[in-house]
Amino acid sequence: MSTEINMILPEPEDCVLGIELGSTNIKAVLIDENHIPVASGSHGWENRLENGIWTYSMEDIHTGIQDCFADLVRNYGKPINKVRAMGVSAMMHGYLPFDKDGNLLTAFRTWRNTMTGEAAGKLTELFGFNIPQRWSIAHLYQAYLNGEEHVGNIAFLTTLAGYIHWKLTGVKAVGVGEASGMFPIDEKTCDYNSTMLEQYKELTGTDLRAILPKVLSAGEEAGRLTAEGALFLDPSGVLEAGVPLAPCEGDAGTGMTATNAVRTATGNVSAGTSDFIMIVTDKLPEVRREIDMVTTPDGKPVAMVHCNNCTSDINAWASLFDEFCSMMGFAADKGEIFTRLFTKALEADPDCGGLVSCNYYSGEDVTGFTEGRPVFMRMQNADFSLANFMRMHLSSALVSLKIGLDILHGAGEIRLDKLCGHGGFFKTPKVGQVILSAAAKAPVTVMETAGEGGPYGMALLASYMVDRKEGESLADYLDNRVFADTKCVTLMAEQADIDGFEAYTERFRKFLAVEKAAVEVL
């Protein structure tokens, strides 16, 4: 299987479309009947910290997805009036409450906010089930505890993916994987946990079933593109109504799909603005605040460790080097800068030569931070080389995830037969794999489609909806009809790399005292 653009493009009605609204990019991928990407589009954007809340404006959401689709059409080279099927995904969790007239009641509160600690703690105790701060129910209950006036006017509460799906189809529904980041799921029914729904109603008087979106599993049809939805996505008016949509999913579910990690004992690490590891399991670990329990797009339980901070600090330093190149009169390609800096890290000391940094742009639940301050520090006798500097930043991007993974292993016996990596962190060959393998102490596989990421995974879920055979599971569909001939590269870190990451982790744990002081005084 190859991701190269076909010389003879298939007609759009023979293709499937996947769109994902990620943290720094909105991306769209069009795939053919052989699941090969034939065109893609993108739109860059950034969240904003406004009044202490990480958010994206509704205008940015609307214009961003429209520009992404327009970029897809430009790159495809001919009009897209119809596709076989489509689906939309987005960064999971967050809080988008609407009144009965469809008006947004408060600014979009993204997954990145860490202001729901009181609510998350009380709900975890009430349910006997970990409720992370990012989850929609934590945001809702915190707003209730704060006495926010809008709570009594909520007629519909959804996520970013759920909102876009609603705009496209008029249907208030989400996939089960996305729903599992809103409220706990009963794996037997693939629906919200009825006991916990009743507990919440007794606690607050709110019937969540009346305001939460309907839960659907992979393979079900979740509505069709309306005339209004088509015009919303494509204001030019070329796109036609009637396209069937798969249940919308979060970036966790699309990441599992894109890496063929939906079968028990498989896992994947997504590394971009945030990073997380997900392991499909049949043995539930003990309740720990650092471990989320979510589901695959077809409802299997997944143990997840999520970290808010991954590549943002790397991106900032790469921009600084880009500025230096411009100042010196070099016309440097931004992608080439990343590739060279990442590759340089392989020349470094495995423990980063005594350098240390904390990449926290925002709070980090795994290590107990509600706010973050990016900090870099070195001792006078540290080996301050470019290689060590880059190895340090790559290690810092994964070190909180490693701390969470160590906690997960300590919370129960979790079998892991295969670990895949995907996201921008793995675009440069070998580098991200070696660092992750050293952190996880396990071999890491990267598929040739790793760079396609979430929108590709969403397109596959839409393909599964229209192509699956009677009784064919999502895992079987991916194994036998999508990834059977996919080229993969699997690497295992050398013992020196593993020992070096352990040494860096211990240095980082001590350095958290400096990070704490930075949050307090800066």
pLDDT digits (tens, 9 = 90+) for 461-492: 999 999 999 999 999 999 999 999 888 899 99
Does any domain span residue 6? no
Q: What angle do CA 27, 32, 33 make, to 5 degrees?
A: 135
How many degrees, rounded to 5, is the angle at CA 512 between CA 507 and CA 515? 130
Question: In which element (H, E) is residue 317 found?
Answer: helix 312-327
Domain of 136 in residue numbering reads as 12-259+450-482
Instruction: Indicate whether 434 and 469 sit together in one domain.
Output: no
Q: What's the CA angle centered on 191, arms 187 and 197, to 5 degrees? A: 105
What are the residues whose beta carbons fall under 8 Å from the beta carbon of 482, sequence distance 6 or more?
35, 260, 460, 463
Residues 327 and 191 placed together within one structural domain of the fold: no
Position 290 confidence tier, pLDDT thresholds 50, 70, 90: confident
How far is 427 from 267, CA to CA, in rounded Å? 19
**Same domain, yes or no, for 49 and 93?**
yes
Say how far apart CA 299 and CA 185 lie, in whole Å. Answer: 8
Q: How far apart are CA 89 and CA 458, in angstroms?
A: 7
**161 in any annotated domain:** yes
Q: Among residues of the chain, what percentage have pLDDT more than 70?
A: 97
Map tokens 């070998």 to a residue. Answer: 430
Determine the 3-state secondary structure of 119 from DSSP: helix
Three-state DSSP at 137 gives helix
Query: What's the CA gap between 262 and 477, in Å, rounded?
Result: 11
Residue type, 89: S
- What tokens does 47 get? 């969240």
| Domain assignment of residue 73, yes or no | yes
Residue 240 is assigned to a structural domain of this protein: yes
Same domain, 499 and 422: yes
SS (H, E, C) 406-465: HHHHHCCCCCCCEEEEECHHHCCCCHHHHHHHHHHCCCEEEECCCCCHHHHHHHHHHHHH
Q: What is the mean pLDDT of residues 341-345?
A: 98
Q: Clarify whether residues 322 and 245 are in a common domain.
A: no
Match 């992370």 to its residue by tokens. 132
pLDDT of residue 7: 58
- Cα–Cα distances (Å) from 182 to 121, 212, 237, 431, in that order, read 15, 9, 34, 34
Q: Which of 4-13, 28-37, 265-274 has the lowest mean pLDDT?
A: 4-13
Whether residue 91 is found in the same domain as residue 160: yes
| Model pTM score | 0.83
Range of weakest confidence among 40-44, 245-249, 252-256, 430-434: 252-256
Co-location of 73 and 195 in the same domain = yes
Could you give the CA distance from residue 148 to residue 445 in angstroms, rounded to a whole number? 46
pLDDT (0 to 100) of residue 451: 56
Give the pLDDT confidence of 362-416 residue by residue, as tens digits.
999 899 998 999 999 999 999 999 999 999 999 999 999 999 999 888 766 678 8
Q: In 32-150, at which residue ranges do the beta strands (DSSP E only) sit? A: 37-44, 48-50, 53-55, 85-90, 96-98
State the burial class of residue 235 (Cβ atoms within 10 Å of its Cβ: 0-12, 13-18, 19+).
middle
Between CA 313 and CA 161 the distance in angstroms is 26
Mean of pLDDT over the chain? 94
Residue 223 Cα distances to 138, 167, 296, 446, 519, angstroms: 28, 11, 21, 34, 46
Radius of gyration of the chain (CA): 22
Q: Are residues 366 and 331 in the same domain?
A: yes
pLDDT digits (tens, 9 = 90+) for 202-247: 999 999 999 999 999 999 999 999 999 999 999 999 999 999 999 9
pLDDT for the residue 410:
77
Predicted pLDDT at 3: 41
Return the sign of the alpha-carbon dihedral for residues 129, 131, 136, 139: positive
DSSP 57: -
CA distance 437 to 502: 12
Residues 234 and 248 both lie in one domain: yes
Backbone angles phi, psi at 78, to 5 degrees: -155, 160
In the chain, how many domains are there? 2
- pLDDT at residue number 146: 97
**Phi, psi values for residue 251, rounded to 5°:** -65, -20
Does the residue 66 lie in any domain? yes
Whether residues 397 and 426 fall in one domain = yes
Q: Which of 38, 77, 82 is nearest to 233 (CA)?
A: 82
Average pLDDT over residues 48-68: 95
Are residues 228 and 145 located together in one domain of the fold? Answer: yes
Q: Residues 148-166: pLDDT tens digits?
A: 999 999 999 999 999 999 9
What span, in angstroms and rounded, lies between the C-alpha atoms of 518 and 522? 5
Question: Where residue 92 sits, what CATH number does that domain have?
Answer: 3.30.420.40
> Is the same domain home to 509 and 365?
yes
